[in-house]
């Protein structure tokens, strides 16, 4: 049995697989986000407790020996720990917006662009650079008390194994890692005013670090590998490794990834280049801030249940009877395929005749347009796989195929956990059939007529977005 752990933003999951990649069991636990005044934080003990709980449940439900475990989780944010991996303060989430004024200043004075040209990382308020700089100014004692500023999965790995603080090249990609040398760029650390905090950056293990567990959640001595983080783990789990092929993750974050061997640091600074465990191979990532979270907000606001979405999408035509949604709901604005910390969602075309179905369809269409924008910017030329919670809605998948104008290779199940196991197998030299493990569960073809309609709708979306970005900067 092989176990993958995926420490998500709102849900922690563990999945067990057999040697052929068949999913045997899944356990999950919700974890809370604390949102207040632009601050988005998480309790590290709660997150770690959820990891132990789901591992115990999976191993009890599938009482076979655990051959190997792989660990992945949410990226970015700042998880300050002491020598035992314990929290110095609550974790600042990747969704946190407290450092937006720093990003605004760096956008204005050229620091933002300089960092992108050196590292391929377009900073946003919830990434470690701005967050560490903000904490250095406002909570220096927290940084003084920490031995490392980790990422989520790194904290879990340290506590599961007792290993020292470490991270991998994928998590370290934002924003300090030079993608050519795969080492920290000390010049970037200096640009952000963090040279005196350089010691908090965890050593980068290249390739992914390995260790054995201490007996919490998994049997003592179980082999486990740390990483990659959830976006590249999903790419592995969906079989997206050939240059030009892409992945769309319709989850809390709407993430677009395209495999590439070209490192192009020109053009508008946005997204990032994620280092993979193969030197010279990257994932060009455009992780928009809000995916299913935008739809969740609309559903909760209108009193619609998730199981009603498919039916409502059938009740209203493409174009949602004139209702339009710009789906930029995150308190920290947007980070891909552009950075606009003050951008907010907009709803237009609503009248007394508009229905709940119109609002739901307009939101799904808006998310689809945002995904098309990201995939275009990331350089998609090959096949497109799709995974995440949104794949549970067949009607939304058909809508997405139409909006994107291309077939979707739907990969269901715990794709991130699957990718984490494949990465662990590579590190430990365990032979697994990656093609069998990543086979799509369905292929959704676009409708030619609706795809043509949405091509025009996409151009209108870009026009509305340009106007909204202007208002955000005013």
Model pLDDT for residues 105-122, shown as the tens digit of each residue: 999 999 999 999 999 999
Number of residues written out for the chain: 474
User: In this structure, are residues 142 and 80 in contact, taking their beta carbons and an 8 Å threshold?
Assistant: yes
Residue 289 pLDDT > 90, yes or no?
no
What's residue 74's pLDDT?
96
Which of the four pLDDT bands, split at 50, 70 and 90, describes residue 179? very high
Instruction: Over range 389-412, report the average pLDDT.
Output: 96
Question: Each residue of 46-101: pLDDT tens digit?
Answer: 999 999 999 999 999 998 999 999 999 999 999 999 988 899 999 999 989 899 99
- Residue 177's pLDDT is 97
> Does position 325 have pLDDT exceeding 90, yes or no?
yes
Distance separating alpha carbons of residues 192 and 194, to the nearest angstrom: 6
d(CA 409, CA 391): 10
Confidence bin at 252 (pLDDT 50/70/90)? confident
Q: Is the pLDDT of residue 240 over 90?
A: yes
> What per-residue confidence (pLDDT) applies to 437?
97
Residue 41 has pLDDT above 90, yes or no: yes
**What percent of the chain stands above pLDDT 90?**
91
Which contiguous run of DSSP H or E holds residue 45? Answer: helix 44-61
Q: How confident is the model at residue 42 (pLDDT cuts 50, 70, 90)?
A: very high
Tell me the two tokens of residue 144: 């003084």
Given a cut of 90, whether residue 307 has pLDDT beyond it is yes
- 153-179: average pLDDT: 96
Mean pLDDT of the chain: 95
Pairing of strands 34-36, 39-42: antiparallel
Residue 261, judged by CB atoms within 10 A of its CB (0-12, 13-18, 19+), counts as exposed
Range from 172-186, 219-233, 245-259, 329-343 carrying the lowest mean pLDDT: 329-343
Question: What is the reported pLDDT for 368?
Answer: 97
DSSP β-bridge partners for residue 13: 6, 28
| Distance between CA atoms of residues 221 and 70, nearest Å | 14
pLDDT surpassing 80 at residue 207: no
The domains found in the chain, sorted by start residue, are 2-232 (3.30.420.40), 288-410+444-473 (3.30.420.40)
Residue 380 CA: distances (Å) to CA of 8, 56, 248, 257, 454? 26, 40, 11, 8, 18
pLDDT at residue 341, as a whole number? 84
Whole-angstrom distance, CA of residue 208 vs CA of residue 266: 29
């Amino acid at each position: 049995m092989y176990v993958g752990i995926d420490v998500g933003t709102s849900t922690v999951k563990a999945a067990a697989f057999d040697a052929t990649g068949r999913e045997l069991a899944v356990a999950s636990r919700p974890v809370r986000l604390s949102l207040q005044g632009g601050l988005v934080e998480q309790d590290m003990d709660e997150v770690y407790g959820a990891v132990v709980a789901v591992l115990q449940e999976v191993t009890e439900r599938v009482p076979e020996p655990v051959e190997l475990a792989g660990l992945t989780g949410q990226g970015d944010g700042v998880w300050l720990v002491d020598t035992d991996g314990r929290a110095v303060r609550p974790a600042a989430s990747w969704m946190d917006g407290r450092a937006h004024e720093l990003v605004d200043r760096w956008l204005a004075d050229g620091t933002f662009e300089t960092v992108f040209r050196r590292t391929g990382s377009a900073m946003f308020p919830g990434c470690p650079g701005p967050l560490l700089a903000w904490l250095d100014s406002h909570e220096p004692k927290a940084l003084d008390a920490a031995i490392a500023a980790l990422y989520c999965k790194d904290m879990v790995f340290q506590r599961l194994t007792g290993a020292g603080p470490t991270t991998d090249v994928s998590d370290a990609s934002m924003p300090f890692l030079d993608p050519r040398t795969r080492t920290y760029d000390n010049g970037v650390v200096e640009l952000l005013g963090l040279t005196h905090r350089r010691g908090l950056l965890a050593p980068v293990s290249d390739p992914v670090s390995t260790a054995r567990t201490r007996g919490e959640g998994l049997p003592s001595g179980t082999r486990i590998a740390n990483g990659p983080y959830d976006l590249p783990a999903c790419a592995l789990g969906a079989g997206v490794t050939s240059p030009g092929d892409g992945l769309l993750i319709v989850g809390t974050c709407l993430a677009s990834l395209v495999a590439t061997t070209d490192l192009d640091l020109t053009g508008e600074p946005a997204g990032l280049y994620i280092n993979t465990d193969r030197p010279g191979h990257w994932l060009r990532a455009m992780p928009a801030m809000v995916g299913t979270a935008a739809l969740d907000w609309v559903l909760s606001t209108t009193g619609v249940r998730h199981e009603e979405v498919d039916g409502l999408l059938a009740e209203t035509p493409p174009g949602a009877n004139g209702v339009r949604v710009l789906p930029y709901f995150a308190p920290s604005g947007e980070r891909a395929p552009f950075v606009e910390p003050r951008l907010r969602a907009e709803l237009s075309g609503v009248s007394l005749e508009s229905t709940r179905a119109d609002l739901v369809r307009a939101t799904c269409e808006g998310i689809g347009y945002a995904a098309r924008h990201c995939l275009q910017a990331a350089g998609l030329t090959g096949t497109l796989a799709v995974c995440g919670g949104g794949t549970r809605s067949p009607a939304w998948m058909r809508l997405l195929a139409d909006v994107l104008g291309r077939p979707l290779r739907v990969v269901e199940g715990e794709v991130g956990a699957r990718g984490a196991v494949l990465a662990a197998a590579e590190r430990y030299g365990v032979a697994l059939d990656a093609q069998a493990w990543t086979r799509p569960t369905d292929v959704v073809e676009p409708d030619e007529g609706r795809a043509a309609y949405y091509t025009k709708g996409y151009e209108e979306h870009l026009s509305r977005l340009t106007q909204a970005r202007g208002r955000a900067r005013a």
